[in-house]
Structure 1
Amino acid sequence: MQPFTKGIEKRTIIFFAGFVLLFSLLYVRLGYLSTSPGLTETAKNQSKYTLTIEQRRGQIYDCNLLPMVNRTGKSLYAVLPTSSNMKPVLDAVSRESRDVVSDLLQAAKPFLLQSDKEIQADNVTPFYQSQRYERYQLAPHIIGYLDSEKNGVTGIEKGYNDFLAQHTSKTQVVYTMDGLGHGMPGVEPEIRETGSDPAGIVLSIDKDIQTVIQNEGGRGLKKGAIVVMDPYNGEIKGAASFPLFTPTDLSKSVRDTENSPMINRAFLPYNVGSTFKIVTAAAALEAGIPLSETAECTGSVDVSGQIIRCHKRDGHGTLDMLDAMKESCNPYFIHLGLKVGGGSLLSMAERFGFGQGYQLAPNIYTADGTLPSKQDMLNPAEVANLSFGQGKLTATPVQVAQMISVVANGGYLVAPKLVVGQTLDGQTVERTADIAPKQIISGEIASQIQSFLVHCVMVADGQNALPEKTTAGGKTGTAQTGRFNDEEKELEQGWFAGFFPASNPRYVVVVLSEETGYGNTTAAPVFSKIADALAEKVKE
């Protein structure tokens, strides 16, 4: 029996030794796993629950570094469900939402709740969530809008999409969860702020001016555009297209096919009309035609068999250049245009910037507009039509603002500018290069035409552009389109293009009232109200 017993003891010892060895290896393995960086990070992530409060895209500023977007917001609450906060949370939501919110509370996981009512309860953390756009958004056609993936679709949002996306900031709240995936009420959540919030694109737009033109244009224009320009450097201080579209309700704007609010009329070409008489006067003065040059207006003129009528059908009688500008007499300016010659008139129009569009930012362009050709100018009737802004001439409100700027600034053509530069800190601006103004007419000619335009506003009878709080100069225009409405009445573009104050002009303002008739009754009153609203600003 002894040999058998010894065998059992030997096998027991071997088995026990093996067991100890395996246990030791298992212990070492567990120790390694418990300190493994990968497993530690996984466990950490599994014990956290993150809610993103908001993700703010890079800013868009006005010329004074005032925000143009992210100006409004709403109250948002991060809720960690507990038995004590269920009632105050449910009391803060509408009856229609209570079932949904109740389900979220029962799930015991943190969630976000938007409520206009203040919620004061344990484990309910209030936040302010900024909104990119407002219902009444400033300069929506300039700023543009985003798609569902937060990428720019139009305007500055699209042109500077990469820069604005790169400078995104984020606010998050991070909760610690227990082993069952429920929030731990006794542990304070972590608030994380990441990104560079102040960085953004700086526009030439002045927020105060933009607000004024949107208010006045909204009251006075059904369809049309307003452009405000600094006549000395071409910076666009305000640009609005009417009707405005609403970035917070794009579908409504897209469906409005009658008024087409999505298009930017400030950058589109239209028939110009009598505002172009400024160019004709400049060509005549440069050709040496004196101010005392007279012509008789009988109400119409025959040019190579084409009868062209004056707006005053019984005629103005005999006029000189000053009175012809004040009365906006078509036959007189036809007389000047034919005397100057088609080639010289066309050349002057090109010098004033007609027929040339601009890139104002990546993906933002003004249209070229149209001019008659040199061959067209061999036809006296074409020369006559161009002389008072009709025929094949079209131009954008921006181009008309450039034209007025020439006579307001002493004879220099300025390039329109919309983007001043970029900022990384919200305080200093890295400016883009400026295009130097180019002198295209003499200071004497510019000064003479400027006095004509002041006379048009300050002296002419029945001028609706006359402001009450400042002085001004400018020119009306009523442009035929060759298109008619259902009542067979011709659709006409109403213009007013002017500057204020009359002496040392500070701003140029162009108003287009689309397809509504006489400029003096449609566009001029809007100019007057803008000048009055900004009268205090010119004293700064």
Structure 2
Amino acid sequence: MNVKRRLIFVGIFFILTFSIILYRLAAIQLIQTESFSAKGVNLVQESVNQRTQEVVIDDGRGRFIDRNGDSLRNQVEPSLVLFPFLKEVSWPVEKLSEAINVSSNELKRRLQNIKEPLVLSSKDGVNLSSEDLAKINKLEIPGVFGIYRQSPIDETVGEHIIGITGENAKLLRKKYPDRQDLSYKTQIGITGLEKTFDEFLLPDAQTKLLYHVDGDGNPLFGVNVKYIADSNPFYPISVKTTIDKNLQSIAEDVLHKQKVDKGGVVLLDIESNEVLAMVSKPELNRSDDRTLMNYMLQPLFPGSIFKTVISAAAIEYGLNDAAREFNCSLNLYGENDGGQDDGMLSLAKSFAKSCNYTFTTLAGELMEKDINALEDTADKLGLLGPVGWQGEVFHYQHFKQLPEEKAGRIWGDEKDKNVPKAIDQTAIGQKNVKVTPLGVANMMATIARGGHKQQVKIVENILYKNGTNMFSFTSNSLKGEKISPYTASKLQELLRLVVADSEGTGRRFQTLPIDVAGKSGTAQTGKKNAKGQDLYNKWFAGYFPSSQPKYALVVVEMDTTSDEAGTNASFYDIVNEISKTVR
């Protein structure tokens, strides 16, 4: 009886196992042939791919261009394509050699060990023109093609702005369940604008050269190569950014020259409030997750940059008596610790020399007048954010151009508003005050415009392949109250004095060919380097030309010792380079 039961169990086990195998085979061969597993693998297509070799001319993903239409990531480059089967057949290599001015021996040498199609361009020492491509294709040699191929630009700019793409089949299927036509190998946006505009950038179809091979890689149906092109006149789209490629390159080159290893730059067009350049350091390295963050969108300790807010609030609340003087030989807590010896200074002079005691005194008086004075004024200046463009885009009700941007803050605990020392530390941009470099740039642009605050835009249009407009991003005002024109005017005077005064913290910029207005900042971070030295965030933020403002610029170097900071030198060099283009 036991033997019989065992035989029954064994039989059932084998039947179940065989059924599972049959089902698996059926799934592979019949049921899930076009969407197998969680990745949605197209088994039919993969089986075809095993018997084909191809050259992808264009992967079909959308592009990014700058405000002038110049590509920010890819370029179309004249290229020569040679297929592997040329090694095994007789073909007029001398005619091709004569057409492109590359020796026949060199062409044969390059073909010797290839197993996949060979693509040659300027990077490989083969410089071709449109005329050369015409000559190549006129020869009509099977397996030899002259094409324009999409390839990465040698020196790309705006890496953190554009972001990166990668393969993630599970996320692809989750985000786009209706796009079963997409291969599980389709690249999707991981960071930056690649992620933000991913749905618009997804490929419609690839453009490629393709031929069939047997198991040894030999032509299966002769030497005919098939050209598969995307005939859609609308896709791929182009995302037209507000970035100026030349200005972006200037900013990146200057930071490299001044050895700013952590920090960055934000440059805005004051009239339109558009981003002309944005650089984040360290440089993006997709194999190191620590480099993926765009620090220009992250809240940082601002230090004395925040005194701009205290000054604005003092003006708004009528505490800016020009005749009043403050004892700037005292420290921020009103103590005479011997650390400073600046004597009695007016508000204007205190701002120029960045006297701590003046602004802790004013902050205390402001808190007595209005417990929310500081955050309300910061909001009026367009500092706290998020300040990036947001609005309705097709079916997106709250589309954000810069979704990675974080909001700034002033208070970590509401109880601190009643603690004198906490108010003092807050007044000089320490304690819990953190704002983004983008927010600081927006504040400077707001002041330069006379108090009008706007959303910051980094993308202007989405364009169809044929150049027609798919969507335009309007210029939007930031909601909420704003500072008065009078306050803006007085702040402009204070910011100009920082540079114009012989003792101002920005006096270095007096030698620039155009006038600058701005404010410096040094913020303690609470960190130390390997030598035990304190590390700071070093800032300079302002606008220029000060008489007719055109650009708002912020430079910040993070986690640096005060002596090593390249902030002011970077600000100086960027303004100096841009001044050559200002008419």
1:273 to 298, 303, 318: 303
- Is contact 2:270–2:552 with CA below 8 Å preserved after alignment? yes
Offset at residue 192 of structure 1 (A) = 4.1
Unpaired runs of 5+ in structure 2? 1-50, 98-102, 129-135, 168-184, 390-399
1:264 to 2:271 alignment: no
1:146 to 165, 168, 177: 165
Give deviations 1:263-317, integer Å, cap 9, x for gaps: 21111111000111111111111121212221111242436xxx697xx923210
1:130 to 2:137 alignment: no
- Is contact 1:473–1:502 with CA below 8 Å preserved after alignment? yes
2:346 to 293, 296, 320: 320
Which residue number corresponds to residue 35 of structure 1? Answer: none
Alignment of 1:32-111 (within 5 A): 51-71=55-75, 73=77, 75-79=79-83, 81=86, 82-84=89-91, 91-92=105-106, 100-101=113-114, 111=117
Query: Higher mean Cα deviation, 265-274 or 84-93?
Result: 84-93
Alignment of 1:455-494 (within 5 A): 455-461=497-503, 463-466=507-510, 468-494=512-538
1:332 to 358, 364, 367: 358
Query: Higher mean Cα deviation, 386-395 or 505-514?
Result: 386-395
CA pair 487-521 structure 1, distance change in 2 beyond 3 A: closer
Which residue number corresponds to residue 535 of structure 1? Answer: 579
1:155 to 2:195 alignment: no
Alignment of 1:384-403 (within 5 A): 384-403=424-443
SS at structure 1 position matched to 2:148: strand
Which residue number corresponds to residue 373 of structure 2? Answer: 344
SS at structure 2 position matched to 1:496: strand
2:237 to 199, 205, 208: 199
CA–CA distance in 1 between the matches of 2:373 and 2:108?
A: 72
1:298 to 2:329 alignment: yes
1:426 to 2:433 alignment: no
Give deviations 1:246-271, integer Å, cap 9, x for gaps: 5xxx33x45xxxxx322211111110
Which residue number corresponds to residue 281 of structure 2? Answer: 242
Seq. identity, %: 24
Unpaired runs of 5+ in structure 1? 1-46, 105-110, 255-259
1:522 to 2:566 alignment: yes
CA–CA distance in 2 between the matches of 1:316 and 1:394?
A: 28
TM-score, structure 2 as length reference: 0.72
CA pair 76-209 structure 1, distance change in 2 beyond 3 A: same
CA–CA distance in 1 between the matches of 2:514 and 2:484?
A: 27
CA–CA distance in 2 between the matches of 1:273 and 1:492?
A: 9
Which residue number corresponds to residue 222 of structure 2? Answer: 183
Which residue number corresponds to residue 37 of structure 1? Answer: none
Query: Higher mean Cα deviation, 411-420 or 461-470?
Result: 461-470
Offset at residue 359 of structure 1 (A) = 5.5
Offset at residue 230 of structure 1 (A) = 2.4
SS at structure 2 position matched to 1:270: coil
Offset at residue 486 of structure 1 (A) = 2.7
Offset at residue 453 of structure 1 (A) = 1.2
CA–CA distance in 1 between the matches of 2:205 and 2:211?
A: 19
SS at structure 2 position matched to 1:448: helix
CA–CA distance in 1 between the matches of 2:579 and 2:499?
A: 16
CA–CA distance in 2 between the matches of 1:206 and 1:180?
A: 48
Offset at residue 168 of structure 1 (A) = 5.3
Which residue number corresponds to residue 228 of structure 1? Answer: 267
1:413 to 2:453 alignment: yes
- Is contact 1:322–1:452 with CA below 8 Å preserved after alignment? yes
The size of the alignment, in residue pairs, is: 467
User: Which AA in structure 2 matches 1:134?
Assistant: I
CA–CA distance in 2 between the matches of 1:514 and 1:145?
A: 24
User: Which AA in structure 2 matches 1:434?
Assistant: S
Query: Higher mean Cα deviation, 431-440 or 266-275?
Result: 431-440
